[in-house]
Copies of this chain bind each other. A is one copy, B any other.
Amino acid sequence: MVDGTTGGEGLLFLTDEQLRKGIEAMFFAYRGFTADPDRILEGMDYGRAHHRAIHFIHRSPGTTVSNLLAILGVTKQSLNRVLRSLIEDGLVESRVGKADKRERHLYLTPKGAELERQLSDAQRARMRAAYRAAGPAAVQGFRTVLEAMMDPELRRQYQGLRDGNA
């Protein structure tokens, strides 16, 4: 179907074989991407789901449960299980909203921030090594392709995200 010779110019990067390579690169790279935090989390009572919650609360302090739900793309029951344990263990604080008292605003406690730092240090270290090895131009391309792979809705989450916290 895609023969790479259609245009005669440089469409060889769109062959099925090149696409397969890209697909496998995503698979193997994602394993590396999660490996370090996973290693830190194992042994604690937490897993990848906790890491994700902590990450996004750190990034958007005061975010609501609804916002988090939209970003993470899980059900509230699933998120609640994770959040409950984090709150019980004193890593996350849940404050009733001032303007709208139905909402819960989420913050990392100092203890939560400490774990966040530990996890993201590990993840950033790998990322930094990869970036450094690949160079700025490659990083630019990396980000461009990833962005193009996202669902449009998630792309908006990724780019903007200043909305919703009016």
Cβ of B136 and Cβ of A148 under 8 Å apart?
Answer: no
Cβ of B141 and Cβ of A137 under 8 Å apart?
Answer: yes
Near B by CB (< 8 A), chain A positions 18-40 give 18-33, 35
Whether, in the assembled complex, A142 has its beta carbon less than 8 Å from a beta carbon of chain B, the answer is: yes
Cβ of B14 and Cβ of A128 under 8 Å apart?
Answer: yes
Bound complex: CA of A31 vs CA of B148, how far in Å?
12
Residues of B within 8 A of A19 (CB): 124, 127-128, 131
Bound complex: CA of A158 vs CA of B25, how far in Å?
7
Whether, in the assembled complex, A126 has its beta carbon less than 8 Å from a beta carbon of chain B, the answer is: yes
Whether, in the assembled complex, A123 has its beta carbon less than 8 Å from a beta carbon of chain B, the answer is: yes
| A interface: dominant SS | helix
Cβ of B145 and Cβ of A13 under 8 Å apart?
Answer: no
Bound complex: CA of A140 vs CA of B141, how far in Å?
7
Q: Per a CB cutoff under 8 Å, which of B18, B52, B138 touches A141?
A: B138
Known: A32-B150, A130-B148, A138-B142. 9 other contacts (CB 8 A): A16-B124, A20-B124, A22-B131, A23-B124, A25-B143, A25-B146, A29-B146, A127-B149, A142-B145
Q: Which residues of A contact B (CB under 8 A)?
A: 2, 10, 13-14, 16, 18-33, 35, 52, 55, 59, 73, 120, 123-124, 126-151, 154-155, 157-158
